[in-house]
Structure 1
Amino acid sequence: MAWPYFDPEYENLNIRINPPRVSVDNSSCKDCTLVKVDSMNKPGILLEVVQILTDLDLIITKAYISSDGGWFMDVFHVTDQNRKKVTDSKTIEQIEKALGPKGQAADWMKSWPGKRVGVHSVGDQTAVELIAWDRPGLLSEIFSVLADLHFNITAAEVWTHNRRIACILYVNDNTNNPVVDDHSRLSALEDQLKNILGGTHDDEQIGRTIFSMGSTHIDRRLHQMLFAVRDYEGDAAMNDTELPSLRPKISVEHCKEKGYSVVTVKSKDRPKLMFDIVCTLTDMQYVVFHATVSSDGPYASQEYFIRHMDGCTLETEGEKDRVIKCLEAAIRRRASEDLSLELCGKDRVGLLSEMTRVLRENGLSVIRAGASTVGENATNVFYVRDASGNPVDMRIIEALRKEVGLTMMLNVKKAPVATRTKAPHEAKGLSKASFFFGGLLDKFLS
């Protein structure tokens, strides 16, 4: 029996007939830039748009989303990292290009020379993914193994949460910087990493190494790795120094009139907060039909009207509880009230091994880290705390500055001191919205 011919381009026909429309508006709001996106709806489109804006180092202060039916309409209020309007013509052009009809995010980001390595995949290098139970000194041991085997780390991102550690490292050969495709060298690396990562037969997800030549978005992949080892379960207690009022307030309710589950998140605001929430909902197979996001001073309120991909809402208490735990974990993986140390200098093989060894010897524990190289220059950022969980003694930082100051420039940034005046649910303007804002979106699009 002969099957009829099916044109593989057919499913893209609607997009070609009705290409996305993107506008960047700097006149409607005095303190932020409005980015409006109208497009045919497709699975994962909200995450794609939020990811692009986040990767452009834009801060989303407000957002109004509607994608009920075949059309997707978004309005984002964004600023640059200095909380100013986006006025740079090159950045505006990049927004329009990435989100517009010819936007191919992956190819476009690879060709963007100004973007720091480490936020996006690096095509000519080997990605090494590590997941393990965390312990003091583990990160230093990982970097030491790579240095001993003459692997050059060009980019790295490390997250820790609830006693787990997830790393994505981009490596190449330190001799003439080719991609590493020697299976014997990779096997030797894997064996040595397995020895220090640990793991048991009862928990195969913890303590493993994966090599990949493919492309991945680092932040999303780190979320997926920690989600896979269920870091949202168990004792995810707050830091001893963390105020209870700073813990995210998350609730799930049912909107009978519209047939949605309504997820409300109120928390301390920070960059990439919306990305982390949308990424988690998407990877949990939930579809966002409508959403509103706003920030008021140091706090943010986000509301999502969702259904599962099969069309069902969250009916049981177990489903609701799992979503709440997963979203809280996603928020806390990147949140940091810790001291950050930025070390800049000339790149060399073994640099990360040396830096993490120095931090460990000075009694500092790395909570999160990012490393990147541009040409011969390396920038390494470490979020640290005292090994006992106490605030870092600044005398240690001064001693550290003297120790590394001859070869690296050290910038120290303290997290702002939190106050007990207002909890997220008490902040002005963050009361739960009781209206359905689909109609409100039309006002922003008109």
Structure 2
Amino acid sequence: MLRNVLKGDIDIRSARTLVSMAVTHTERRLHQMMFSDGDYERKPIIKPSGDRPVVEVQDSLEKGYSVVHVQCKDRTKLLFDIVCALTDMQYVVFHATVNTSEHRASLEFFIRHTDGTPITSEAEKQHVILCLRAAIERRAYQGVRLELRTADRQGLLADIMCTFRENGLNVTRAEISTTTSEALNVFYVTDPFGNPCDSEVIESVRHKIGLNELKVEELPSIYHHRGDKPTLSATSSFGSIVRKNLYNLGLINSHS
């Protein structure tokens, strides 16, 4: 299925696919791939005030450390994502403090290079800031959450992506899994500019794919904030689902 939509080349518009025989935690490997692909260099979506992570890097030269301050929304695996990013950049964390309050997180890291030296240039500080922002935002959910549950077949994913593109939907995150002959795919979609989708567009896509197969599981909070009353039926998704995360599909843009 994936062969239909993934291209393993260095074109920034396509996905970079690698095969590793080593035993590496799946989500750890995803951070490595995204960092290698340079996702931190891409222009981010403009977000509402307060949604963007705030990252600062300061010197503590008298102690031989660089101090990284992070303030952002609290969420599951936030610390994991930040430490993965620091490790990918060849830094070692010698001390850290983490505080959370009312869905906000404040983290502080004392870091050095693996050779024991602190950050020494402004350019390097900016690189660390961009990489940490990207690592925090990769796991962020943007857009309407759609769940597709249908019989698995060859070319299914390619057909779904084609329908999304034809209707101007941009996939910011996808979770792909199959069990025997059934496919369970979760997509987070926005409009081409990263804004919430029009409810009529979502309904049109559902009719084309199948109302019983493609369901709306979650609406972005902006619908509720601005008083919109979309015709979509939003339900809460409960239950444990074994998900295999897939980032940067070859024929879509990634903003995470």
- For Structure 1 versus Structure 2, the TM-score category normalised by the shorter chain is 0.7 to 0.9
CA separation of 1:273 and 1:265: change in aligned 2, threshold 3 A: same
Between stretches 311-320 and 321-330, larger displacement belongs to 311-320
Residue 246 (structure 2) aligns with = none
Structure 2 letter corresponding to 1:145: N
SS at match of 1:247: coil
CA separation of 1:379 and 1:390: change in aligned 2, threshold 3 A: same
Q: Structure 1 unaligned segments of length 5 or more: list them.
A: 1-141, 147-166, 168-192, 420-446
CA separation of 1:264 and 1:341: change in aligned 2, threshold 3 A: same
Residue 232 (structure 1) aligns with = 40
Matches of 1:207 and 1:371 in 2, distance apart? 15
Q: How large is the Cα RMSD of the aligned pairs?
A: 3.0
Does residue 4 of structure 2 align to residue 145 of structure 1?
yes
CA separation of 1:266 and 1:388: change in aligned 2, threshold 3 A: closer
Matches of 1:411 and 1:208 in 2, distance apart? 29
CA separation of 1:237 and 1:145: change in aligned 2, threshold 3 A: closer
Matches of 1:415 and 1:293 in 2, distance apart? 28
Residues 343 and 411, structure 1, Cα contact 8 Å, conserved in 2 = no
Residue 282 (structure 1) aligns with = 87
1:362-441 equivalences in 2 (<5 Å): 362-405=167-210, 408-417=213-222
Structure 1 letter corresponding to 2:116: G
CA separation of 1:362 and 1:144: change in aligned 2, threshold 3 A: farther
Residues 251 and 264, structure 1, Cα contact 8 Å, conserved in 2 = yes
CA separation of 1:410 and 1:245: change in aligned 2, threshold 3 A: same
Matches of 1:317 and 1:198 in 2, distance apart? 29
Structure 1 letter corresponding to 2:35: F
Deviation at 1:369, TM superposition (A): 0.9
Does residue 153 of structure 2 align to residue 345 of structure 1?
no
Structure 2 letter corresponding to 1:340: R
Does residue 132 of structure 2 align to residue 327 of structure 1?
yes
CA separation of 1:348 and 1:243: change in aligned 2, threshold 3 A: same
Residues 142 and 172, structure 2, Cα contact 8 Å, conserved in 1 = no
Residues 174 and 186, structure 2, Cα contact 8 Å, conserved in 1 = yes
Residue 28 (structure 2) aligns with = 220
- Of 287, 305, 316 in structure 1, the residue corresponding to residue 110 of structure 2 is 305
Structure 2 letter corresponding to 1:249: V
Residues 144 and 353, structure 1, Cα contact 8 Å, conserved in 2 = no
Structure 2 letter corresponding to 1:396: V
SS at match of 1:220: helix
Structure 1 letter corresponding to 2:45: M
Matches of 1:336 and 1:413 in 2, distance apart? 10
Deviation at 1:367, TM superposition (A): 1.4
Residues 176 and 185, structure 2, Cα contact 8 Å, conserved in 1 = yes
Q: Structure 2 unaligned segments of length 5 or more: list them.
A: 226-256
Seq. identity, %: 48
SS at match of 2:111: strand
Q: 1:321-365 CA distances to partner (integer Å, 9 max, x unpaired)?
A: 221121112122232332221112332322212221222222211
Q: 1:19-72 CA distances to partner (integer Å, 9 max, x unpaired)?
A: xxxxxxxxxxxxxxxxxxxxxxxxxxxxxxxxxxxxxxxxxxxxxxxxxxxxxx
SS at match of 1:226: helix
Does residue 74 of structure 2 align to residue 269 of structure 1?
yes
Deviation at 1:254, TM superposition (A): 2.8
CA separation of 1:400 and 1:272: change in aligned 2, threshold 3 A: same
Residues 68 and 109, structure 2, Cα contact 8 Å, conserved in 1 = yes
Matches of 1:332 and 1:390 in 2, distance apart? 16
CA separation of 1:143 and 1:358: change in aligned 2, threshold 3 A: farther
SS at match of 1:359: helix
Residues 365 and 387, structure 1, Cα contact 8 Å, conserved in 2 = yes
Matches of 1:207 and 1:344 in 2, distance apart? 24
TM-score scaled by structure 1? 0.45
Matches of 1:198 and 1:265 in 2, distance apart? 31
Matches of 1:291 and 1:402 in 2, distance apart? 50
SS at match of 1:336: coil
Matches of 1:354 and 1:338 in 2, distance apart? 21
